[in-house]
Amino acid sequence: MTAEPTTRSRVPEEFLWATGIEDTFITDPWPATGRTLEEYELTQHYRFWREDLRRVAELEVNSLRYGIPWYRVNPRPGVFDWSWTDEVVPALKETGAQPIIDLVHYGTPSWLEGAFLHPDYPQRVAEYAARFAARYSGLIHWYTPLNEPRVNAWYAGRIGIWPPYRRGWRGFVAVTAAICRGILLTERALRDAAPEAVIVHVDATDLYVSDDATLAEEVARRQEIVFLAIDWMLGRVLPGHALWEWLKRHGMGEPELQWFAEHPARFDILGINEYPLFSLKRLLRGTRGLRQVMPYAPPETLAELCRMYWRRYGLPIMITETADKGPVSRRARWMDGSIAAVLELRAAGLPIVGYTWWPMLALVTWPYRVGTRPVADYLVQMGLWDLRAEADETLTRVRTPLVDRYRDYAQSRPSPSGVRVSGV
């Protein structure tokens, strides 16, 4: 059954071809190594941001996902330092691409002790959002309040790798609830500060499967957890929801669940992040219990997930991250296959309104923070430009044939989706 749209959507008439620069900001040092995971530092984007934005312009894309280091612009409670963003934000517009600002792309300021579980987190993140939107009114209109709530909650609440280092499903639920409350307050703050704001909610997605019929219930539960944050924020977690009792068993009281039902979000676009390396999860029974393997996902997995989100939510969908890693030829195959799948869905009438090759540059993989090897050993070539470590530790941007390939796609102007809103 197709869901009724949750909001009156505000989406562009033109298909959104986008890219972005990996922008994880985990600045709490890992105890054993003292390392942080600050991608703008590690990939030297702070050093080369002007040149990197010229590369965005070279691509001729019409959209750019771009993250703001919250910890840097809000170094102390109630104190804001806009010196860096005052340079960068106007330059974003000069690329010719519409910025979609990631206000939180992992990580919180260090003064927010307990990170997402600090009691003031929802109000503090909303304050930051309101201040940013007011300062850059007229320049920025599109926002993602927080990238990938489920992944944040997994690393910070389920497996204890990021602050506040909780473990288990109770930790996952607690962090998810706090993040969702923060997103809801952020969305309201943005709409108050910038009534024209377009909200692109972004989360990672997975498709769970199993050949073992006895695991059907667990497969269904894991798939519901994929949708949990969106369901919660859209006011859909009510008695009878597939996870209602599960949430109560893992620490949620009915008053808090009711609060979400009474304060639903209004998202304009649902962004889904899907990678062929990670997004197909196959469950099986091993000698030590339940196991999860991740076979390489074909483009049809991306297409099936898009259909699932459309049936469930009835909102326009944007592919806000996708890429493959390895040789250019392998990346090119995924680019061609995934874009073909998206365009086929549009031709079939699904409102897929955008596609993002993410990241534009190579990135430093997350194990760097807990590892001890040089940065160069953690580079993952997933971008349109590779990063090459020089003898002086400079990371040279190496243009690949994928730049021209993606630019050709961005100039292809696919047929309209049929979704229209004036004035956006």
Per-residue pLDDT tens over the stretch 138-170? 999 999 999 999 999 999 999 999 999 999 999
Burial of 246 (0-12, 13-18, 19+ CB in 10 A): middle
Residue 289: pLDDT band with limits 50, 70, 90: confident
What pLDDT shows up at residue 117? 98
The arithmetic mean of pLDDT across residues 108-119, rounded, is 97
* pLDDT at residue 190 greater than cutoff 60: yes
Dist CA 60 CA 72 (whole Å): 29
What pLDDT shows up at residue 415? 57
Residue 283: pLDDT band with limits 50, 70, 90: very high
Query: Which H or E run includes 204?
Result: strand 198-204
Which percentage of the chain shows pLDDT scores above 70? 95
What pLDDT shows up at residue 287? 82
DSSP 130: H
For the chain, what is the total number of helices (H) and then of strands (E)?
13, 17
What pLDDT shows up at residue 282? 97
* pLDDT at residue 13 greater than cutoff 90: no
| Predicted TM-score of the model (pTM) | 0.94
Phi, then psi, of 153 in degrees rounded to 5? -65, -30
What pLDDT shows up at residue 420? 39
Task: Evaluate whether 240 touches 230 at the Cβ level (below 8 Å).
Answer: no
**β partners of residue 76:** 79
Q: Return the minimum-mean-pLDDT range out of 3-12, 226-235, 394-403.
A: 3-12
pLDDT in tens, 203-246: 999 999 999 999 999 999 999 999 999 999 999 999 999 999 99
**β partners of residue 395:** 389
Across the chain, which distance is largest between two alpha carbons, in Å?
60
Burial of 327 (0-12, 13-18, 19+ CB in 10 A): exposed
Q: Which residues contact 225 (CB under 8 A, 6 or more apart)?
A: 150, 243
Asked if the peptide bond before residue 164 counts as cis, ω within 30 degrees of 0, the response is yes
Helices within 194-298 (DSSP H only): 216-233, 244-249, 254-262
pLDDT in tens, 354-383: 999 999 999 999 999 999 999 999 999 999
pLDDT in tens, 80-102: 999 999 999 999 999 999 999 99
* pLDDT at residue 421 greater than cutoff 70: no
Domain boundaries, the chain: 16-410
> For the chain, what is the mean pLDDT?
94
Q: Are strands 385-389 and 16-20 parallel, antiparallel or unpaired?
A: unpaired
Task: Evaluate whether 297 touches 207 at the Cβ level (below 8 Å).
Answer: yes
Distances 317 to 69, 107, 133, 408 between C-alpha atoms, Å: 26, 25, 24, 22
The packing angle between helices 328-347 and 299-313, to 10°, is: 40
Dist CA 408 CA 402 (whole Å): 10
Task: Evaluate whether 354 touches 332 at the Cβ level (below 8 Å).
Answer: no
The arithmetic mean of pLDDT across residues 25-30, rounded, is 97
What pLDDT shows up at residue 412? 85
* pLDDT at residue 419 greater than cutoff 70: no
Question: Which superfamily is assigned to 16-410 in CATH?
Answer: Glycosidases (3.20.20.80)
Query: Which H or E run includes 72?
Result: helix 70-73
Would you say the C-alpha torsion 332, 335, 339, 342 has a positive or negative sign? Answer: positive
Which percentage of the chain shows pLDDT scores above 90? 92
Closest CA to 198 of 126, 125, 143, 147: 143
Q: Which residues contact 378 (CB under 8 A, 6 or more apart)?
A: 364, 365, 367, 368, 371
* pLDDT at residue 413 greater than cutoff 90: no
Task: Evaluate whether 27 touches 107 at the Cβ level (below 8 Å).
Answer: yes
